[in-house]
Amino acid sequence: MTYEATLSGLIGPLMGGKFFPDVPPDAPKYPCGVYQQVGGQSLWFREGAMPGHKHARVQITVWAETRLQANQLMRQIEGAICTGLRNAEPFGAMVGGYEDAIKKYSARQDFGFWYPDP
């Protein structure tokens, strides 16, 4: 199973199903969140073979009506990822923000995932 399906299944229920790849829908209902692959570690073996697993660095961002709600959601997401995915790790703590264009508070955090090469 790819990390995308696993991540959606784990985080989607925490967000009431409002968890999307890359961008939210045009008229989102808040709170909502997105995940986006923003890199990862690239591995290969010296003899020219590729390993059986890939790595993804994934940034998760949530938007909510209040700072408290955004932070609580991100803490729940971090806990779910760190306890629910064997080969996952956070890369630093969450970063808060405010999106003036939509008048919503945000929180984001990066995670690393190792997953079987599909």
Convert the pLDDT of each residue in 81-99 to its tens digit. 999 888 899 999 999 999 9
Task: Tell me the three state secondary structure of residue 24.
Answer: coil
Domain boundaries, the chain: 3-116
| The pLDDT of residue 116 | 81
| pLDDT class of 46 with cuts at 50, 70, 90 | low
Lowest mean pLDDT, pick from 26-30, 32-36, 46-50, 92-96: 46-50
Class of the CATH domain delimited by 3-116: alpha beta
Contacts of 76 by beta carbon, 8 Å cutoff, 6+ apart: 14
Find where tokens 């409002």 sit.
18
